[in-house]
Every structure is written in structure tokens, then in C-alpha cells.
Amino acid sequence: MTAQILDGAAIAKAIRAEVAEEVQALAQTHIRPGLAAVLTGSNPSSQIYVNSKVKTCHQLGIYSEKHELPDEATTEELLELIFWLNGRDEIDGILVQLPLPKQIDTTRVLESVDPAKDVDGFHPFNVGKLVQNRPTSIPCTPAGIMEMLDRYEIPIEGRRAVVMGRSDIVGKPMALLLMHRHATVTICHSRTKDLPAVAREADILVCAIGRTAMVTADYVKPGAVVIDVGINKLADRVEIERIFSQDEQRLEEFEKKGYTLVGDVNPTSVREVAGYLTPVPGGVGPLTIALLMKNTVEAAKRRRSVVL
């Protein structure tokens, strides 16, 4: 058996097309969804992510702004900016790019965002709504995974699901979304005893534990759906040759770039056991920005009580 690859890029493209149609429909009612991206500091990855999000807004017809603060910015300066954005009616979503510099109180900043404009779904008010299974903005990566499962018509109800990782951004909301769809859910973490044995119980295994290529075939039930949320930059030649010994394309990529991207799953090992597998890159990653766009449009509709 070789796992069927779940093409996140194709799903993301379909979602973006649907969002663009909704933006056009809203334009007929003189509404244009707006997203403000807040970037604090000079983290290169954060700059790339924010620029990509702003670019996608332009492509889909969503109004967007980028607000940049320096590395030495204070919590109070960031709170002042968010307070101003909260009060602007043309802004429907506020994205605070994480991580923030060490001197900034991340909790205070995230809690200062108007819950109606919290398109990342991080505000405690929206987390509470998610717990109660009420309409709200859902963290983009777990929401994207649910879209992928649905569009590939993978059953969720009655299945055993294991989520490896308990972060507020992925692990916890992912478990709640699966539970709300009537899966039986187990959350695992670094202190779970006999982690491979627990993972092997899963019909749906979500790997978001942050350890490069940790999940191998002995973690996977034959035929399981394996969702790899991890994204790790690997530059160790020995490790790359061990993981991708039969993958000439990956080895060539490493020779050109000096690195390759690897998730939390060892794809060479797992694809021989799993029924479905998301690739890295091209799996979960593209869905995150697509769902941010969808959340922004939904926030615009909720704020204005619009039903299309």
C-alpha cells in the first residue's frame, strides 16, 4: 500500500476561488472586507508570511494594510495600534503576526483585539465559542485541515482521532473540531507514555508536535489518515539522505538549496503504511492563508449581518 497524497495546494486554490466570488458578491452590496496585518520586529519568516497574506488579499479583492513596528516596540505601543484598528469600520480582521519580540506581553496583545475582528481565533472569547461549538473565527490551520478532510470526503464521525500536540494554535482547537464532528479524540504530547502505541489507535492522526520526521511507520495504523502539520528546515545531509534515500527530487533540491522542508512525519516510512498522507511542503501549509482569507470575509459578513 502507498498512501494517497492529500493535495493541500489544490484545496487552498479552490477555497481562494470561493472567497473571491464572495468578495465580488459583497461588492454588490458596497461592502469590501478589510484585513490589517500587524508585524512587529524583523523576524525574516514573519516578514515573508505577512507579505504573502497581504499579497493574497490583493489577489482576492480584499482590502489590506500592513502595519510595521520596530524590534524595540513596547507592549503599550502595540496596544495603541490595535485600539486604533479596533475602531476603524473598514477593518474587519486584525492579524497580529506571531511570535512577538520577547519584551512584549503576547497575552495582553491578543486579548486587546476586538473579538469580532479576531480572524485568527485566538481571543479567549472566540476560544470559548469554539468550545461551545458556536459560530466564530476558528484558528486557520485546524480549520484548513477540516476543509481538507471534508473535500476528500474522509469520514470523521465515529472514527478514532489522535492529535499529537497540545498548542493553543493547532492541537487544542483541532481536537475540539474533531470532537464536534463526533470523532473520539485523544490528545498526546511529549509526556504521553508509549506514544507510538497511542498513535497507532488513530484512524485520523494529526501530527503537530514540532519534532522533525519523528513519526515513523510504527506510529501509524495501516490505512490511517495522517495529517502532518509540522514544517522544519532540515540542512543535515546525513539526516536528509537517511529520510529521502530513494527520493531523487528531494536530494536534488538539497544539493541546490542546502536544505529541504520536512514535517513531523517521516514521509518515506509512513507512506508505505498510511491510507492518506499530507506532503510537506504542499499539504497543510497552503490552507492556512486560504482560511485566513475566508475568516476575514466571514468576519465582514457577521459584523454587518450580511447573508449571501
Catalytically active residues are: 53, 97, 120
Q: Which of 205, 262, 204, 198 is nearest to 230 (CA)?
A: 262
Q: How far apart are CA 250 and CA 100, in angstroms?
A: 33
Q: How far apart are CA 276 and CA 43, in angstroms?
A: 34
Nearest 5°: phi and psi at 284? -75, -35
301 neighbors 250 (Cβ within 8 angstroms): no
The order of strands in the sheet holding 93-96 is: 63-69, 34-40, 93-96
Give the DSSP H/E element, type plus range, for residue 14: helix 8-27
Torsion of CA 111, 114, 120, 124, to 10 degrees: 40
The three cell numbers of residue 268 are: 518515506
Q: Which of 33, 144, 49, 61 is nearest to 96 (CA)?
A: 49
Residues constituting the chain: 308
The three cell numbers of residue 1 are: 500500500
| Residue 68: other Cβ atoms inside 10 A | 14
